[in-house]
């Protein structure tokens, strides 16, 4: 993780950025909300590279700027993933990874029939996504042969989120 250049796309208040930075990554956080970035700045300090960027717009980065892109709990808020994925692909260096997680844990909680277990209890959940990777492959990604493994340094940062590993 040390020295890897990582784009935290949709960084919100910066919890993933902080975890990545604490492990030695060089992190750039982007979010469409100036208010969320202010919270991230409080968490990360004034020297943090945080920018107001809407993921639906062209990204203000050169090609091959990042080793990895993390999009944690952000893609499912977009009406169309295709243009955003197409914008993320060029900023990744060849062989870089897009690590995406979708569905906030609260969505799982409210989708369960009553009586629901405590929101704070540990539970297991599995979702089957049937998008066939088309948005991803059309944007130039290839689906990794396997999801994240315990040998992958990102698993330490996002240990309990269902993440999809995609390679540029």
Those residues with Cβ within 8 angstroms of residue 37's Cβ, 6 or more apart along the chain or in another chain: 11, 29, 31, 50, 51, 52
Stretch 52-73: mean pLDDT: 96
Rounded percentage of the chain residues whose pLDDT exceeds 90 = 49
Mean pLDDT of 80-94: 91
Q: Which two tokens stand for residue 126?
A: 């599995």
Average pLDDT, the chain: 81
CATH code assigned at 81: 3.40.50.150
Query: For residues 47 and 67, what is the distance between their CA atoms, to the nearest angstrom?
Result: 21
Q: What is the mean pLDDT of residues 78-89?
A: 88
pLDDT at 109 over 80: no
Please provide residue 79's backbone torsions phi and psi, each rounded to the nearest 5 degrees. Answer: -65, -40
Confidence at 76, pLDDT banded by 50, 70, 90: confident
The number of distinct structural domains making up the chain is: 1
Phi/psi at 137 (5° precision): -70, -35
At 136 the pLDDT is 73
- pTM of the entire structure? 0.74
Query: Are 68 and 154 spatial neighbours (Cβ–Cβ below 8 Å)?
Result: yes
Residue 54 lies in domain: 5-167
Angle at 111 between CA 32 and CA 78, to 5 degrees: 25
pLDDT tens readout for residues 132-160: 556 777 777 776 644 443 344 444 444 44
CA distance 93 to 153: 18
């Amino acid at each position: 993780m040390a020295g890897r250049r990582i784009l935290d796309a949709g960084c919100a208040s910066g919890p993933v950025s902080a975890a990545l930075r604490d492990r030695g990554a060089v992190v750039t956080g982007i979010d469409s909300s100036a208010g969320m970035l202010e919270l991230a700045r409080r968490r990360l300090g004034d020297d943090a590279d945080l920018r107001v960027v809407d993921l639906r717009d062209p990204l203000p980065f050169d090609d091959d700027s990042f080793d990895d892109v993390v999009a944690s709990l952000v893609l499912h808020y977009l009406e169309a993933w295709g243009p955003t994925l197409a914008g993320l692909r060029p900023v990744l260096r060849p062989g870089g990874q897009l690590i995406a997680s979708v569905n906030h844990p609260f969505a799982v909680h409210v989708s369960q029939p009553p009586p629901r277990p405590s929101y704070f209890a540990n539970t297991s959940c599995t979702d089957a996504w049937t998008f066939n990777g088309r948005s991803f492959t059309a944007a130039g990604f290839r689906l990794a042969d396997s999801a994240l493994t315990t040998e992958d340094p990102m698993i330490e940062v996002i240990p309990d989120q269902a993440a999809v590993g995609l390679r540029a």
